[in-house]
Chain A
Amino acid sequence: MTELICIGCPRGCHLKVDEENDYAVTGNNCNVGAEYGRNELINPTRTLTTTVRLTNSVHHSLPVKSAHPIPKKDLFKAMEELNGIEVPAPVKCGDVVYRNVADSGVDVIATRDLD
């Protein structure tokens, strides 16, 4: 039995995950917790948020995020890839700025309009 705090939402439910019983989750208040508890022990993932270089703009940094969570172990690899890219302005919130980050199959999207 493993105890976890759910990071699925700010509520922070105290979960118990039973490895012996197909990773059954208790203590959750919603499905997000059930899924999180299970994933966290099998293949933990995180949403990556960071900035990338913006060009053609008075602003220097464009905030971005991975459109979906990526494997936790690949966070630094993803950072390295994103540290090397430049995105020309203008950018719209939701625009894909980088595809398949760290070979995760997940795209990276802008989280803000910037001219």
Chain B
Amino acid sequence: MFDVVIIGAGIVGCSAAYYLSQYDIRVCVLEAANDVSMGTTKANSAIVHAGYDPETGTLMAKHNVIGAALTKELCRKLDVPYKECGAMVIGFDETDLNTIQKLYDRGIRNGVEQLQILNREETLKLEPQLSRDVRGCLLIPTSAIIAPWELAMALMETAVRNGVQLKLNNRVEAISKKDGVFTVRTNADEYQAKYIINAAGVHSDKVHELIGEKEFTITTVKGEYYLLDKSESSRCQRTIFQCPSAVGKGVLVSPTVHGNLIVGPNAVDSDNVDTTYEGLQFVKKRAQRSIPFIAFGENIRNFAGLRAKNDRGDFIVEESRSVPDFFNIAGIMSPGLTSAPSLGLAAVDWLKGKQELVKKDSYCESRKKIRFNELSDEEKNELIKKDPRYGRIICRCMTVTEGEIVDAIHGVIPAVSIDGVKRRCTAGMGRCQGGFCGGKVAEILVRERGISPLEVLQDQEGTNILVKELKVK
């Protein structure tokens, strides 16, 4: 019997688990996939928005501004890559310049600091590779970039250290309530709890409707991206947004915390994450409007993510109207990543209204990670002396050692797939995209997990990379 079951281990579920883990209650997180952050969290623009964009007075605006500050603090505490690189919303004509003024005014109202409107020359001086057609920009110095899946991982790892039970490969199939106790049935097991927090992302409406009435509808909007090699990282220092217009929010170009350049997204109604020829062409053309000379030949990966759009136009952060003790955090589209910590705290606040929450005598709220590449020469040598596996580079593009890969496989939330290793220690994230190291990571997974090579997964269940052993009688 748990006090709280959180459904979904995306960035929102992980944030809620992190904050709840500081209290003396029993918390369980149910996740359908074989790892945390497998939905929207791992496939988005990875921007910590400052908060000038959402309409003043909305939940989006509130959680965005609070969440941005919390994210910064969490990344510091949890040793998660975070870079306040700043951002620009650039304009190409009078309409855009009016929009920029509106965004500036709204940003001020929302409490965003350091906003500035720059003219053409000032804009080009800061970002010389922008199109000569640029007329000016809104400068947002506090905008930042992060690795969303790493933050989700760090939050959940800390929560698990504090006693939260994470149940992966548990897809919720039915929910019932009797005598004030929920029973949640998954494909694997049954769990009981007094409270449910629904953070099921694009599935949150269906999860709610397993027990409640239809109160909102989630539709999914696909965004497709390019991720370019580090050789293209100098195209811009900041995240470059285009003005939102009637045809959409516009395609962004941004550095990433791992030193790449990300370009995207488009916005297409879709329920799958397949990239398309048309979608990628669209993104490319749009991005070239901002920065004409991006070398798309340096692309290393395309991906697509789904955003959970709801029919209310604002985040849904409330107790279910038809099911007491069931809290929905749903329809979390942009700026959802930024808002996540604040949404996690909102769940805590809601629970505080339900029962007394007492902080644990001691709990952990920070994390430290070995990133070999970032150590000094002396530290590297010391580490190798302690464990020679840190002296064996497996991923040469990102300089990741065998020691770090083994750490990932035996971590608090063990990596079970090649991509799981990648999300934890960046092996395979570089320009060869695992071409060289994929096989070696597979070998280490086989050795450390004691599995057959046939069981090695690329990512989620069912993505086995090898199909048959050769030369067996």
Report A-B touching, CB under 8 Å.
yes
Please give the residue numbers on chain A whose beta carbons come within 8 Å of chain B beta carbons, in ascending order: 51-53, 61, 83-84
Closest to B473 in A: A84
Please give the residue numbers on chain B whose beta carbons come within 8 Å of chain A beta carbons, in ascending order: 470-473
Q: Which residues of A contact B473 (CB under 8 A)?
A: 84
Q: Which residues of B contact A51 (CB under 8 A)?
A: 470-471
- Residue from B471, B472, B473 with most neighbouring chain A CB atoms (10 Å): B471
Q: Which residues of A contact B471 (CB under 8 A)?
A: 51-53, 61, 83
Q: Which residues of B contact A61 (CB under 8 A)?
A: 470-471
Rounded to whole angstroms, the CA-CA distance of A83 and B469 in the bound complex is 11
Closest beta carbon of chain A to B442's beta carbon, Å: 14
Closest beta carbon of chain B to A60's beta carbon, Å: 8
Q: Which residues of B contact A84 (CB under 8 A)?
A: 473
Q: Which residues of A contact B472 (CB under 8 A)?
A: 53
Closest to A53 in B: B471
New A-B contacts (8) at CB < 8 Å, excluding given A51-B470, A52-B471: A51-B471, A53-B471, A53-B472, A61-B470, A61-B471, A83-B470, A83-B471, A84-B473
Closest beta carbon of chain B to A49's beta carbon, Å: 14
Closest beta carbon of chain B to A76's beta carbon, Å: 15
Closest to A83 in B: B471
Rounded to whole angstroms, the CA-CA distance of A83 and B471 in the bound complex is 5
Closest to B471 in A: A53
Rounded to whole angstroms, the CA-CA distance of A53 and B471 in the bound complex is 6
Q: Which residues of B contact A83 (CB under 8 A)?
A: 470-471
- Across the A-B interface, give the 6 residue pairs with the lowest CB-CB distance, nearest first: A53-B471, A83-B471, A84-B473, A52-B471, A51-B471, A51-B470
10 CB contacts below 8 A, A to B, read A51-B470, A51-B471, A52-B471, A53-B471, A53-B472, A61-B470, A61-B471, A83-B470, A83-B471, A84-B473
Closest beta carbon of chain B to A101's beta carbon, Å: 15
Rounded to whole angstroms, the CA-CA distance of A51 and B473 in the bound complex is 14
Q: Which residues of B contact A53 (CB under 8 A)?
A: 471-472
Rounded to whole angstroms, the CA-CA distance of A84 and B472 in the bound complex is 7
Rounded to whole angstroms, the CA-CA distance of A84 and B471 in the bound complex is 7
Rounded to whole angstroms, the CA-CA distance of A45 and B71 in the bound complex is 67
Q: Which residues of A contact B470 (CB under 8 A)?
A: 51, 61, 83
- Residue from A51, A52, A53 with most neighbouring chain B CB atoms (10 Å): A53
Closest to A84 in B: B473
Rounded to whole angstroms, the CA-CA distance of A112 and B473 in the bound complex is 23
Rounded to whole angstroms, the CA-CA distance of A52 and B471 in the bound complex is 7
Rounded to whole angstroms, the CA-CA distance of A83 and B472 in the bound complex is 7
Closest beta carbon of chain B to A62's beta carbon, Å: 10
Closest beta carbon of chain B to A37's beta carbon, Å: 35
Rounded to whole angstroms, the CA-CA distance of A61 and B469 in the bound complex is 11
Closest beta carbon of chain B to A113's beta carbon, Å: 19
Rounded to whole angstroms, the CA-CA distance of A61 and B471 in the bound complex is 9
Rounded to whole angstroms, the CA-CA distance of A51 and B470 in the bound complex is 9
Closest beta carbon of chain A to B127's beta carbon, Å: 49
Closest beta carbon of chain A to B362's beta carbon, Å: 46
Rounded to whole angstroms, the CA-CA distance of A78 and B344 in the bound complex is 64
Closest beta carbon of chain B to A5's beta carbon, Å: 30
